[in-house]
Chains A and B, each alone.
Chain A
Amino acid sequence: DAGITQSPRHKVTETGTPVTLRCHQTENHRYMYWYRQDPGHGLRLIHYSYGVKDTDKGEVSDGYSVSRSKTEDFLLTLESATSSQTSVYFCAIAGTPGYGYTFGSGTRLTVV
């Protein structure tokens, strides 16, 4: 979907290095979310935002931080990457909360 893009699509990084993933939307939606997908766990919420500079933690937020300085961008940062953070990360946006999201194509992150 052209309304939401994630970058990079793939990344390999070393343990202990900081990593930032970017989610960019052109829909002017208020709500943005970061999920990770792991086998056996489905999609789990990391952090979410309900407006510029308004963010909160999800169920698996340890080791992650986020920032949203403008409506269109939501950044996810791994302060010091660990192997347990190897995963596929999805960003999602919503205009009306709870009624479903539009997802980005994902970022596959490998921490070695």
Chain B
Amino acid sequence: DQQVKQNSPSLSVQEGRISILNCDYTNSMFDYFLWYKKYPAEGPTFLISISSIKDKNEDGRFTVFLNKSAKHLSLHIVPSQPGDSAVYFCAASALNAGGTSYGKLTFGQGTILTVHP
């Protein structure tokens, strides 16, 4: 049962254009969402997050949008740069799950982003 899904295994965009990565979730207990970026042979690194009380969070070129009713979030990268080429994972946690979540994150399958010069 995949509670967090990234349905696009890969995305290719031109440098300077917008990259949009999508993520869907099914568990209504999730109330905090994160995006991680991963380069080959390295561990994932935190990129940006959003709480369920917000619908948008922005950090430089990166913006995350959350649509709770659709259980959907997206990551926008504008403008895209070749150095953004990596695997992007969305993740979700249930912070208010009665104290039993212990910070467990549920990850999607990942989307490989390639930004062409």
Contact = CB atoms under 8 A, between A and B. Distances in A.
User: Do chains A and B stick together as partners?
Assistant: yes
Interface of A: 1, 31, 33, 35, 40-45, 48, 50, 56, 58, 90, 92, 94, 96-106
B109 A98 contact: no
Contacts, number: 74
B78 to A, nearest CB: 23
Given A98-B95, A105-B42, A42 B102 contact: no
Interface residues of B, number: 27
A31 B109 contact: no
A59 B13 CA distance: 34
B79 interface: no
Contacts of B109: 40-42
Contacts of A58: 104
A83 to B, nearest CB: 21
List the 5 closest pairs (A to B, CB-CB), nearest first: A97-B103, A103-B43, A98-B93, A43-B107, A42-B109
A97 B97 CA distance: 12
B44 A31 contact: no
Interface in B31-68: 32, 34, 36, 41-46, 49
B84 to A, nearest CB: 19
Contacts of A105: 41-43
Contacts of B44: 43, 90, 103
Interface string B83-106: 000000101011100000111111
Given A90-B43, A100-B34, A104-B43, A33 B107 contact: no
Nearest to B32: A98
26 contacts: A1-B43, A41-B109, A42-B4, A42-B107, A42-B108, A42-B110, A43-B91, A43-B105, A45-B104, A48-B104, A97-B95, A97-B101, A98-B32, A98-B93, A98-B95, A98-B101, A98-B104, A98-B105, A99-B32, A99-B49, A99-B93, A99-B103, A100-B49, A105-B41, A106-B42, A106-B43
